[in-house]
Chains A and B, each alone.
Chain A
Amino acid sequence: MSTFFSQTNMLLMSVWSCFFGQDEEDGTEMGEGDEWMQGKTLIKPLDQLDLTEAELKEEFTRILTANNPHAPQNIVRYSFKERSYKPISSVDQLAVHFVLEGNLLHQDSDEARRQRAKQGLPEGGEDAGDVEEGGGEERADSVESKAGKKEQKITNQFNFSERASQTLNNPLRERGCQTEPPPRANFSATANQWEIYDVYLEVLQKQEKNKEKAKAVPKKDDDKGRELKNVPLFPPQSDDITKVAKVAKIIERMVNQNTFDDIAQDFKYFEDASDEYREQEGTLLPLWKFQYDKAKRLSVTALCWNESYKDLFAVGLGSYDFTKQGRGMLVFYSLKNSTFPEYIYPTTSGILCLDIHKHLPYLVAVGFYDGCVAVYNLKEETLQPIYKSTAKSGKHTDPVWQVKWQKDDMDNNHNFFSVSSDGRVVSWTLVKNELVFTDIIKLSLAGAVSEGPEGVQLPIMGKTSCGTSFDFHKQIDYLFLVGTEEGKIHKCSKAYSSQFLETYNAHNMAVDAVKWNHFHTKVFISCSSDWTVKIWDHTIKTPMFTFDLNASVGDVAWSPYSSTVFAAVTTDGKVHTFDLSINKYEAICQQPVVAKKKTKLTHIEFNPVYPIIIVGDDRGYVTSLKLSPNLRKKPKEKKGQELPKGPEVEIAKMEKLLSLLREPENSNA
């Protein structure tokens, strides 16, 4: 150690000598370390020792020890054993120069393990690194495995080779096709309760139709043909116009209602208040006026209300004038539309009478001036009658003055009667497509032969008298009255075809109308051109009442609401209304109803329901009038019902008054 360090010492010394100014002659050693010193001149310090050569060559050994120079060498400790201070032989020579506490832990130490557990680092990573299998694997993948969690394929460093190949990928091809979109239609509807109801109705109707079809076998093809056309409803409404026609009708009525609003209000609500002051008299309030352009020249020859449709009435137009015979018309009006008729049927000959069937409001029987009778069906579209009598089928040879429907006969065929100037009362039966006639009675003067010398018979007529009016009893079916042109009224029965039950010498001129009372079964009324109106009890041969109206009486009618009220029209344009329970001698209302004095009133009819009357005149107008309250007085109900009206006591009084040879037996109403 000393030799090793001698050289070093020399070097050190030489270095020191440089510093302290010691001059050495080891030039090579100096030269190695201190080249920069060569340039400098050596300066001797003043107090440098001068040594001799021998002294200079002396070797001094220096020993480098590991002793801490700062460590004390004289530490003593008290020893209790020897009871004295003793010097410690060895003193700690450690000198600490620098201390730094580190923060690295050995990975296998406990603390490290604890920390790892805390942090959740897998120990497997380390294991993988630890587990290095022999066989040449020197590469520690511990770094990688610590980082990644997956199982890494451990590649063999020496003979590992990766091989890959690529397959042929089929080229991708897109193929598409487009079709035409199905046709679309927008559909919207509301599903209301009523829409559903409509659909159900349609289905129901179809079903019913199918049932009908199934029944009518031979006509199957026709039905099918029609079925295919008209899917929804029965009547052929495929025509647009007909649909609107119905609506147009409604509108027309509405418009009329507006125009004639005041009349409509009067009709419904107006009651003449002044009647209270007039005691017994009443008035007639004019309401609508019905006229048809094409019927201007014609006279109203017949009026009839429809029983089922209370606002509908029929007007027959023709002419009473023998010389002016032309065409005629059958016109139906409704109160709801006064400007235009509902139905119009032009006829070749003037109409003289008509009657609407009580139960079938669409069947109308008409009697013509030329002697024909016809039946019209209002439901049909055609303007022709469905039945018409011809010369072959027993039509009358003279004008038909009255027709009346009867109850259906035993075969359920409809039938009606007609009376004509040719003296026959004929019954017509509607059998399928024909009109079959049966003479019921011939009004012969044979029955009046016995009266030959008495009566004023018209020999011109030969042996038959002309019937001008008739009426059937309301209750006794077979009983009817016929008025003749001679002024007689015959009471007949359907059973007896040649004999009359009774004959009344009613008037001096032709009997224009004869009507049974609606209530009292024994009373009838008759009117004539001899200016009189007479009321009869059919059991008594003379009239009960006679009224002279100062003008030829065209028509008379009983009121449907009272058995003592009746009205008559005269050719001077007046309507006379009588109420026998109020005034037996005079009319309680005499009112002219037409503007022009010359117009003659020809017919009058009471409405079965409403308090109005219609009056026809010879100019083709029909005027409707409302009866004021006084004219409509209903008697105080003594017996509750209206049948035998007017107290019988009063009638008895009348009887007495009128009595010439009467027995006040049966009360007149």
Chain B
Amino acid sequence: MQFEETLKRIQTHKGVIGTIVVNAEGKTTLDNSTTVQYAGLLHQLTMKARSTVRDIDPQNDLTFLRIRSKKHEIMVAPDKEYLLIVIQNPSE
């Protein structure tokens, strides 16, 4: 329940466009086509990033990944089983 509250807070935070929770295979929130696309692509990228970090030093691990683009910023926080993606419009 704490997690849900946190998620709600994130969703209502200023500038946040969307949040997606992805499990190891698919997604748990809306099965929109965009969501599916996001989930799949980001999952792969996160795996790659994590692999890179850990290959360099196995004791290290990926905490989060930020992708800042012209339009908005995508933040991905990986976990053992889940992936939490938040798209925010950084206040500029």
A residues with CB within 8 A of B: 190, 192-194, 196-198, 240-252, 254-256, 258-259, 261, 339-340
Contact = CB atoms under 8 A, between A and B. Distances in A.
A259 B13 contact: yes
Contacts of A244: 3, 21, 79, 82, 84
18 contacts: A192-B51, A192-B54, A193-B58, A196-B58, A240-B81, A241-B4, A242-B3, A244-B79, A245-B2, A251-B10, A252-B6, A252-B9, A255-B13, A255-B16, A256-B13, A259-B15, A261-B90, A261-B91
A258 to B, nearest CB: 5
A247 B91 contact: no
B38 interface: no
A633 B90 CA distance: 35
B80 interface: yes
Contacts of B82: 240, 243-244, 247
Contact of B88 (A243, A247, A258): A258
A262 to B, nearest CB: 8
Contacts of A245: 2-3, 6
Interface in B4-45: 4, 6-7, 9-10, 13-16, 21
A192 B86 contact: no
A548 B14 CA distance: 43
Contacts of B16: 255
Interface of B: 1-4, 6-7, 9-10, 13-16, 21, 51, 54-55, 58-59, 63-64, 66, 73, 75, 77-82, 84, 86, 88, 90-91
Contacts of B15: 255, 258-259
Contacts, number: 92
Nearest to B12: A339
A257 to B, nearest CB: 9
Contact of B55 (A193, A248, A249, A339): A193
Contacts of B9: 252, 339-340
A247 B55 contact: no
Given A197-B54, A240-B82, 7 more contacts: A198-B58, A243-B79, A243-B80, A251-B77, A252-B6, A254-B66, A261-B91
Given A248-B3, A250-B64, A255 B77 contact: no
Contact of A197 (B3, B59, B66, B91): B59
Given A254-B64, A258-B73, A194 B54 contact: yes
B12 to A, nearest CB: 10
A255 B81 contact: no
B77 A247 contact: yes
Nearest to A190: B51
Q: Which 7 A-B pairs have the closest CB atoms?
A: A194-B54, A197-B58, A245-B3, A194-B58, A248-B6, A247-B79, A258-B90
A190 B63 CA distance: 21
A6 B15 CA distance: 154
B10 A248 contact: yes
Contacts of A241: 1-4
A261 B21 CA distance: 24
A627 B13 CA distance: 29
A242 B77 CA distance: 14
A391 B66 CA distance: 54
A127 B28 CA distance: 99
Contacts of B7: 248
A236 to B, nearest CB: 14
Contacts of B4: 241
Contact of B79 (A193, A246, A339): A246
Contact of A255 (B10, B58, B78): B10
Contacts of A254: 64, 66, 75, 77, 86
Nearest to B5: A340
A655 B21 CA distance: 67
Contacts of A190: 51
Nearest to B59: A197
B91 A259 contact: yes
Contact of B63 (A194, A250, A340): A250
Nearest to B16: A255
Contacts of B1: 241
Nearest to B61: A194
A247 B13 contact: no
B86 A255 contact: yes
A194 to B, nearest CB: 3
Contacts of A246: 79
Nearest to B68: A258
A255 B54 contact: no
A241 B81 CA distance: 11
A242 B82 CA distance: 11
A254 B10 CA distance: 10
Nearest to A200: B58
Most buried by B among A190, A243, A258: A258
A259 B54 CA distance: 30
